[in-house]
Structure 1
Amino acid sequence: MIDPPATSPVDPAFRNAGLPVTKRVENLLSQMTLEEKAGLFFHTMITIGEDGELADADPVFGIPSTSDLVEGRGMTHFNVFGAAASATQMALWHNKLQELAGATRLGIPVTLSTDPRHSFTENPGTAMLAGPFSQWPEPLGLAAIGDADLVERFGDIARQEYTAVGLRVALHPQIDLATEPRWARQVATFGEDAELTGKLAAAYIRGFQGESLGPDSVATMTKHFPGGGPQKDGEDPHFAYGREQVYPGNNFEHHLLPFEAAFDAGSSQIMPYYGMPVGTEYDEVGFGFNKSVITGLLRERYTFDGVVCTDWGLLSDAVIAGEPFPARAWGVEHLSTRERMLAVLNAGADQFGGEAIPELLVDLVRSGKISEERIDVSARRLLREKFVLGLFDSPLVDVERAEAIVGNTEFRAAGEAAQRASFTLLANGTDAAGAPILPLSRGIKVYLQGVSAEAAAGYGKVVDSPEEADVAIVRLQAPYEQRETMFENFFHAGSLDYPAEQLEGLVALCGMVPTVIDVFLDRPAILTPLVGEAAAITANFGAGSHALLDVLFGVADPRGRLPMDLPRSMDAVQASLPDVPFDTADPLFRFGHGLGFSTGS
C-alpha cells in the first residue's frame, strides 16, 4: 500500500492492525467524503488486460476502463470477468490493480469477486471456464457424489487458488432448489432436495470461509435468496419472460431451508435473485427491490447483518454484444434508474451488482431523498469485510506462490477424481452372453460421437464407422430450445425433449451397434425414448473425456446418485408444481438412483 504524503490530512489510524475492526472502520468512515462512500456501493465487472496489464474499456460487454472505475468513479469492489492465461498473469494484474487503488486519497484496497470458475460452464452471466484453476464437476455433480467432506475439501482448494491470485469473494454457492425441471440455472445448484442442499451448502461455505471469516478466507455471497427455483414455466428472470416466481403448491417456506443452513455456517454475504414472487404474502417486485424480503425476512426474521448485494443489472439498461439488455427491474419497470436505486436502498440492500453509477447515489443523498446516515449503515458493513479479510494489511499477493498454488498437481488430481466419482450410471444392459455391457473391455473397437479420439486411443481402437465397431460411445448435451439472442442461448431453457430427428438417429445407431450414451445433465433430459435402446446410459455433470473413459472402461467405479428426479415426459413436467420438489408423476429415474459396477445397484 502506498502511504499518504507527510502533509496529508488523512489519519492513518485505520491502518493499525492492532486496533479492533470496529474502531478501524469508524476512523476510516469519518474521513470519507460522500463520493468515496458512494464508490463502495457499486460492484461491477472488471477485465484483465493482456499480459497482466490493467485493461482498457470493453465495448462488447460495456465495461469501462480500469482507471475510469478506480480513479474516476472511486469504486473498490469488482467481479473479475474472464480469465488470464496463467495464475502468474492474474496475480500480476491483481497487484497492479491494488497499487492503483493504493494511490488514491485514502488508499482503500480493492475487493475482487468471481463467479464460479472451477467447472465446465462458460456463460458470461453465470460462470467461467476453469482456465488455470483445477477443474471439478459442476455443483450438481458434487451433489451427485453427496459427500459433505468432499465438498468442504473442494471449497478449501478453491479458497487456496482464489486467494493466491487475489480473489476474495465467491459469488456462490448457489443453493436454490431445482424444483422446476426446465430452469436453466440448476446445474450450479445442489439439486432438488432441501436436506442435501443444506448439508452441502454448509460444507461449501466452511471450505471457502473456514470456521470464521478472516485473512485467509474467501467470503461467500450465497444466492439466490429466498430461493430462485420456482420459475414460471422454468424461464429464467435474466429475461422479462422469466420475471415471475410462482408458488402454486404454497411451498415458499421450503425454499428457505438451505439458507438456514448457510446462515448457521456463517455465510458472509447474500444475493437476492431477480425474480418477483407472485401470489405470496411478499411484495410483488423483484427480490432486490423487495423490502418485505430483504428487511422483513432476511434482516429481521433471520437477523442477517452481513452484506446484501443485488444480482447484476437491476437499475440500468445495457447493450451486450450489440443487443439490448433491459434492466431486470421486475415489478418496478416504470421507475427511473434513480428511483430504482432508492427502492433497493429502502429495501435494505448494501450494494448494486453490475452497476457503476456512484454519481447517482451522491445525487440521491444531496437532494435529500436518502440520508447519509443510511449510507453509513451499508458503508460500515462493506468496510468491515475489507478489514476482516485483511485487505488493508496485505493487499498484494505473492506472484511466485500463485503459480505454485493454482492448478497444482494435487489439486488437479482431486478435481479429476471428483469428475470420475460424479458419473451416475442410469442403465446398464447385458450382452448376448448375459454379461453387463459396462465396464467395457480394453482394446475393443470403438466408434465415437462427441468424444475425443485422441483420449479414446488409450482405451480401444477408434474406428470410423459403427459397422466396424464393437461399441459406440456417444456424448450428448441435455436438450434446449434456441432463443433469439446470443446471450439468451447461454441459458439452456425450454423443452427437455430431444428433437425427433436426433432421436431417430440415436435409435438407429443403437440398432447397428451396442451404444453407450453419456448425457450432460445440466437439466433433467427426457431419456425415456433411449432407455431400452441404448446398451447403457450414464449421466455426467461436468467431466472431461478421460474421466468418462476411465469410468466406461472400469478404471473407476461410478459413484454418482441422481440429485434430482428425471421426468418421464414433458407432459409430467408441465403438470408439476414448480415450487414442490419431486412432483413430476412417475419419474423415469428417481432422486438417489445410480448403479455401480460391483453391486449392480
Structure 2
Amino acid sequence: MNKSTLLFLGLTILLGCKQSNKEQKGNQFSELLKIKSQIFIEKDGIKFRDLNKNQKLDIYEDLSQPTEARLENLLSQMTLEEKAGIMFINGAPVSKDAKPDGNFELTGPAARMPSIVENIKTRMMTHFNIWDIPSEPIIFAKWYNNSQQVAENTRLGIPITIASDPRHHLGKNVIGMASSGFSQFCEMPGFAAIGNEELVSEFADVVRREYMAIGIREALHPQIDLATEPRWARISGNFSEDADLTARLVKPYINGLQGKSLKDGVACMTKHFPGGGAQKEGLDPHFSFQKGQIYPGNNFNYHLIPFEAAFEVNTAAIMPYYGVPIDQTDENVAMSYNKTIITTLLREKYKYNGVVCTDWGLITDVPFGPDVIWKARAWGVEDLSDEERVFKIIDAGCDQFGGESRTELIIQLVSKGKISEERIDQSVRRLLKQKFDLGLFDNPFVDETKVTEIIGTETSIKLGEKTQQISMTLLKNDNSVLPLSQNILKVYIKNIDSTTVSNYAKIVTNPEEADFAIIRLNTPWYPVDTNNSFAASFHHGDLDFKGGKKEHILKLLKTVPTIVNLYLDRPAVIPEITQLAASVIVDYGSSDKSVCEVIFGNVEPQGKLPFELPSSMQAVKNQKN
C-alpha cells in the first residue's frame, strides 16, 4: 500500500471520526432540553443552545470545547455589569404557583427579598440561595425550570445556580430551612457518633440525588467547625469537637455530594474557614454582641485540620466565618476582610484556587422587623463605607458576596480605578468555571416528572431512620432496664407522641401507676436579651436545667423509674438527671418512632459521644474555648 493510499485512508477515518463526534455532540441534548429550552436550535447539523441569540455556535456554547476556552470566550463577551452580577449571591423567594415572579405569600427572610426575575434582569445576578420552599418539592422543580428559562433569555443566557443550607436533618435547631418532602437523617453530630465513613457517603449521595432532582446545585455545607466551645449555638451543624474524626468524615461527605464529577454532582461550599467553633462564651458572631473568636489554648491550627481534608478532595468553594480571629493576624478584622486569612493562609499556603464566598450580610445594614436594624457583620471595619467594605473583601482575596445584592458597588470601584477589571475577572473566572463544571451551560433543566421517584424514596427514608436510631448514645442503663419489654408494660410519657408509644406499651396518665416513665428533653438554652427575634432564637446560654423546670424533671425521676431521652444539639450539663434516672439515652435528631425503636429493643444504639458532656457549668466557664 503506497503513501497516497495510506493518507487517503487516514483522512477518511479522521473525517469519519469528526462526523461521529459532531453527531454525538448533537445527540447529547435530551428531549427534556428540547421541551424546556426556549433557545434550543439546530444549524448545520449541530444542535446547541444559542445562549447569546446570534444564530451561530459560539465557543462558550460548544460542548466539545475545553472548559477553559469556553469560559474565556464568555468572559470576553461580558460587560462589567454582568461580571458584577455573578459576584453576588442572595436569597430568592419561591412562589407557590411556580412562577418566578408569582404568588409568594411567604414569611421570614424570603418575604423581604425581590423576586428572582428582578435580580436577574436589574442586577444581572446568577446565584441565589433559597430558604422557605413549598411543601411539595415538585413545585420547586417547576419554579426552578421557569427561572432557568428567564436566565437563558438574558443577553448571554448565563444559567442560574441555586444554593441551599442543609435540608435533610431531623433536628430541632435547624433555622429557616424547610425540609418537607426530603429524606430525614440525624444531624451531623450523629454521624460523628456512628463514625462510619461509608454511611456518611451513602447519606451524601442521597442528598446529591434529591438536591439535583429539583435543581439545587450548590450546597452551603458541610459545616466542619469544631465544637470546642460547648455553649456555641451552631454545634448541631458540625460533626464533633475532634479534628481528626471530622477530617475523616468530611471526605466521604464532599465526595458523595460532588460525585465523580460536578456535572453529576452538587458543588460543596465548605464552611466556616478557618474554623468557627472557638466563640467566646459560645455567643455567635452573627450578631454584634460577639465579634471575636478567641484561642486561649493557642490552638488556632487545630481548627484547620478538617479544612485540610476538604482541600484534599477538592471542595468546590469555601465560606469564611463572621468572627474576628483575635490577635492571630496582623489586624483584628473579620475573616472575609482579613487578607492574612484569605490570601496568605487559604490562597498561598493551601494553594486553594476555588471559589471563596463570604458569609451572609457583610456589607449592608438591613431592617429586621419594625424596630430592628440588622447591622452588617463588618466586624473590625464598622467605620468603613459600604464601598470601602467591598474593596477590602475583594482585596483580601474573596470572590463572591453572600447575602448581598450591591452590584453597583463593584461597578463604582472599577469606574473610579480603585479595583482593576482584571482583578474582577479573576473571581468571575472561578465562578464561571464552577457553572461550566456543573454542566449548567449545557442543560440546566430538571425533569419534573422524576421528582417524586427520586425524593423521599422508601430506601432513602429507611436509611435516614437508621441513622437516627443507631447514632443514639446510651449513657446510663441501671440494672439493664433497657430495652423495655413490649406490650406488657404500663408507661407514663412526657414530650413524646402517645399514638407512637401506644404501639409499644400501654400508656397511663398517672406516673404512680406506671412501671416506667419515658421523657424526651432538649438541651437547655437561654436566649440573649435582645430585640432581634432572630438572635433570640439562637440556642445560646447555659447548658443546664434550672429552677422549676429542673425540679419538675427531678420529681418525676424520684417518682417512677424513668428513661430520659435527651436531644443534644449542644453538650448538656445533666449530673443530677443522670444520677436519678434509670436510663439516659441521647439522640442527635430522632423521631419519636426512632426513639421507641431503640428504647423497646428493635434497634441497638451504637453511637459514641461526639463531644464531651461537661460536669458542671463552672467547668464550662473554666475551660478554654
- TM-score w.r.t. length of structure 1: 0.93
Residue equivalent to 1:543: 590
CA contact (8 A) 1:120 1:129 kept: no
CA distance in 2, matches of 1:50, 1:234: 38
SS of the residue corresponding to residue 367 of structure 2 reads strand
* Cα deviation code 1:525-559 (max 9, x no counterpart): 10111112011111110010000000000000001
Who is 2:63 aligned against?
A: 17
Match of 2:331 among 266, 283, 301: 283
**Contact 1:122–1:129 (CA<8 Å) still a contact in 2?**
no
CA distance in 2, matches of 1:281, 1:313: 23
- What letter is aligned with 2:308? E
CA shift at 1:12, angstroms?
2.9
Judging changes above 3 Å, is the alpha-carbon distance between structure 1 residues 336 and 118 closer, same or farther for their aligned structure 2 residues?
same
Q: Provide the rounded CA distance (Å) in 2 between the counterparts of 1:292 and 1:466.
A: 60
Deviations 1:264-302 (A, max 9, x none): 111110000000011223531000111100000000000
The alpha carbon displacement at 1:6 in A equals 9.3
Structure 1's 558 and 302: CA in aligned 2 closer, same or farther, altered over 3 A? same
Structure 1 counterpart SS, 2:263:
coil
Secondary structure of 1:516's aligned partner: strand
- Secondary structure of 1:539's counterpart equals strand
The answer for the alignment partner of 1:512 in structure 2 is 559
Aligned length: 571
Q: Secondary structure at 1:242's aligned position in 2?
A: coil
C-alpha distance after superposition, 1:291-326 (max 9, x if no partner): 100000000000000000000000011123433211
Q: Could you tell me how far apart the structure 1 residues matched to 2:171 and 2:132 are? A: 12
Q: Does structure 1 residue 367 correspond to structure 2 residue 439?
A: no
The worse-fitting range, judged by mean Cα deviation, of 8-17 and 318-327 is 8-17
Residue 108 (str. 1) matches residue 158 (str. 2): yes
Give the distance between the partners of 2:107 and 2:613, measured in 1 at CA.
41
Alignment-derived partner of residue 40 in structure 1 = 86
Residue 499 of structure 1 corresponds to 546
Runs of 5+ consecutive residues of structure 2 not aligned to the other structure = 1-36, 40-49
Distance (whole Å) between structure 1 residues aligned to residue 583 and residue 513 of structure 2: 19
Could you tell me how far apart the structure 2 residues matched to 1:106 and 1:299 are?
A: 30
User: 1: CA distance between counterparts of 2:107 and 2:450?
Assistant: 33
Question: Is contact 1:2-1:107 (8 Å) kept?
Answer: no
Taking only the aligned residue pairs, the percentage that are identical comes to 46
2:225 to 163, 171, 176: 176
Aligned residue among 212, 237, 243 for 2:285: 237
Show the counterpart of 1:438.
482
Q: Which residue pairs with 1:66 in the alignment?
A: 116
User: Residue 366 of structure 2 aligns with which residue?
Assistant: 318
Over the residues paired in the alignment, what is the CA RMSD in angstroms?
1.6
2:522 to 466, 472, 477: 477
3-state secondary structure, aligned to 2:204: helix
- Counting only pairs closer than 5 Å after superposition, residues 140-179 of structure 1 correspond to structure 2 as 140-179=189-228
Paired residue type of 1:278 = I
Q: What is the rounded CA distance, in whole Å, between the counterparts of 2:452 and 2:375 in structure 1?
A: 40
Give distance in 1, aligned partners of 2:238 and 2:52: 52
How far residue 122 of structure 1 moved from its aligned partner, in angstroms, is 6.4
| Corresponding residue of 2:406 | 357
Q: Which residue of 2 is the match for residue 488 of structure 1? A: 535
Equivalence map 1:520-599=2 (5 Å) = 520-578=567-625
Aligned amino acid, residue 407 of structure 2: P
Partner Cα distance (1:319, 1:514) in 2:
51
The correspondence for 1:93, drawn from 143, 148, 160, is 143
Letter in 1 for 2:583: A
**What is aligned with 2:340?**
292
The structure with the largest alpha-carbon Rg is 2
* Aligned position for 1:249: 297
The TM-score normalised by the length of structure 2 is 0.89
What is the deviation of 1:440? 0.6
Whole-Å separation in 2 of the counterparts to 1:148 and 1:342 = 41
Which amino acid counterpart does residue 257 of structure 2 have in structure 1? F
SS in 2 for 1:81: coil
1:259 aligns with: 307
**Which stretch of structure 1 is more off in the superposition, 317-326 or 552-561?**
317-326
More displaced, 2-11 or 164-173? 2-11
Q: Distance in 1 between matches of 2:251 and 2:416?
A: 43
Partner residue in 1 for 2:77: 31
SS in 2 for 1:241: coil
Q: Which moved more, 1:299-308 or 1:282-291?
A: 282-291
